[in-house]
Structures are given as structure tokens and as C-alpha cells.
Amino acid sequence: MAIIPVDYSNPRYEATSLHRFTVEALRKAGLSHAHASEMADYLTATDLRGVLSHGTRQLPGYVRSFQSRSCNATPNIRIHREAGAMVQWDGDGGMGHLVSARAIRSAVSRARSTGICLVTATHCGHTGSVGNWTRIATGSGMICLYYSTPMSPLPFDRPEPVVEALNNPPVSFGFPAAEGEPPVLIDMGTHLELPDVQEKIAEISVLPLIKGLAYQVTSVMLTWPVDAQSHIERSYPGATSSLTAVVLDPAFIGEPSNYTRTVTELRANIHAMRPLPGLDRSSLPGEIEAEREADFSRNGIPLDDAHILSLRDLGDELGVPCYWETGGCGR
């Protein structure tokens, strides 16, 4: 659900160059080649979908977390406990991308035999653009509801408006679609707006603020208290994130093609409707990201100067070439 603005006038950079740079930077930070390559896949895929806040822009911060041993560069990510249709994972201080992918894949596998699986994971770093993880499920024809704790602990130690105290826990809801159509996919933080904007909204109606708060509370309640119960040992101070997800197999309800056909009909009906105020068209969540992915794969990813400068500085520090300058594109 890409409401994140993208400046299409920015220079364009090839995903392959960014991917190569990311792999080498993470290798310098101590990750195995397999983990570095996997992380690079997720970060560049996020850039390609236009969620530029959570792609390679995050790379310098991730490298710092490994260098300082705030997060574990060589985690032993494993199942801690499992019973029936439930699985709990131990992230061992590793990055949340690696933990989330494994947790969701295990849930997909189990849901094939049980129809549903609830999976949790704890002691991991930032979970990134959480739509990556619901896409694993939708790519297997499954529904996924994913909740994660925010990147930092809840700040109850200082006076804040309630929405600030609950922070911005991300959620993603993914629903499979027919072949050739993008999944219906919501990927968003639950923080409705900044305090000064909330004041303006409240002058019109407090109802949107209450509904936004409900999203925050739901995500917090599905993650933070669950995580607090875990007896998993925590050794890495930056690995404060956790996740809770549910994966459902539509095949246990009926014929999957009937489900996706209904999604196709819903999409057509939505497209024919009048858009929300301020928007020029009606579409289902996930469609804008699919359009950007097609464009950016062909023509490069439009990145602002600050984004590229932060990567260049990181490359200078680590001795990693800026491949978009030496052989890629910056057009």
C-alpha cells in the first residue's frame, strides 16, 4: 500500500548495482555470504516497490548494529518450540528480515496440512518492510496477517500523547490473487499522524484518531505481551523486535480458484468506483507497488541525493565500490 511518495525526477539506479553493494557491505559487517545475499534481496526488492524508507536506505544503520554487536551478524535462527498449529522461533539476535522469512515459510508449510498456523518469533532486529513477509505467503496462495513490534521499545518512561507512547508497530495483511494479478497487500505503520496533524484532524472528527489508535493497540497486544512471556535468552541489546503472524490456506475452505476469482471481481468493482478524496483513482492495496516494481526494474530506482550519499559514505568506510558509479547506472 505505497502511499510513500516517490520523486520520479531523481536519478535512477539499477537494482543489480545496489544489490552487489549491499551484499559486500554486509559481508564486511560479518554476515555470511548466504545471509548477506538474502538481506540484499529483501532490501533491493523493497526499493523496487518504491518503499524507499525501508530498503537500502536502512543499510548503514544495519551495518552499525552489527559492528557494535547490538545485533548478531551470525545468528543461529531456529525453532524454539512447536505444537500443533503453532510455532515459536528464536531469532538469536539476528536481523528481523531473516527471522521473519523463516517464520512465515514454516507457517506456510504447516498450514498446508493444518489449514492454519500461528507463528511467533522473538529476539530479532528490525523487521523491515513487512510486506516482504506476507508476500511469501501470498506467493504460495495463502492469506497472511503479520504483526511486528516497533524498532525501539515502547517509551512509557516519559510523558507522551498515547499514540506516541504506543510507537509505530508495523502490520501487513496479504491476500492471494489470480495469476498475473498482484496480491492484495497492506503494508503500513499503525501511527496515524504526527501530533500537530492530529490536532487538525480532531477539529473535524476524533473518530479517525480512535480507529488509528485501535490499529496500534491491536498490533501491540499481539506482539509485546506475547514476547514478554518468552523464556528465550536475550543476548543482543538491539534485537528488541518480535513478530506474531497467522497464515491461512484458502484450500481448506473451498476451491482456491473460486477465492482468487472473487478477488478479481472485487478488483474490477473497486476500479470502477469514485476514488477517495485527494486521489486520482481507486485501486486495491498492492497495485501501486506492482506498477513501481515493473517501472523501476526496467528503468532504475529513483533515489534522492541523501540516500546515495549515505551509501557512498558507507562504501568509503568499508572499502566497498559504489557499483552504480563504476558500471551500473545513475541516469
- What domains are there in the chain, each with its CATH number? 1-68+300-331 (1.10.1530.10), 75-299 (3.30.1370.60)
Which residues, at least 6 apart from 81, have a Cβ–Cβ distance to it below 8 Å?
Answer: 87, 88
Show pLDDT as tens, one digit a residue, over the chain (331 residues).
Answer: 446 789 999 999 999 999 999 999 999 999 999 999 999 999 999 999 999 999 999 999 999 999 999 999 999 999 999 999 999 999 999 999 999 999 999 999 999 999 999 999 999 999 999 999 999 999 999 999 999 997 666 667 776 788 788 888 999 999 999 999 999 999 999 888 888 888 899 999 999 999 989 999 999 999 999 998 989 999 999 999 999 999 999 999 999 999 999 999 999 999 999 998 988 999 999 999 999 999 999 999 999 999 999 999 999 999 999 999 875 444 4
Record the cell numbers describing residue 237, joined without a space. Answer: 541489546
* CA–CA gap between residue 114 and residue 248 (Å, rounded): 9
The pLDDT value recorded for residue 192 is 80
| Contact of 130 with 174, CB cutoff 8 Å | no
What 74-82 contacts at long range (C-beta under 8 Å, 24+ apart), as own/partner pairs, is 74/30, 74/31, 74/32, 75/99, 77/102, 79/106, 80/230, 80/232
**How far apart, in whole angstroms, are the C-alpha atoms of residue 179 and residue 174?**
15
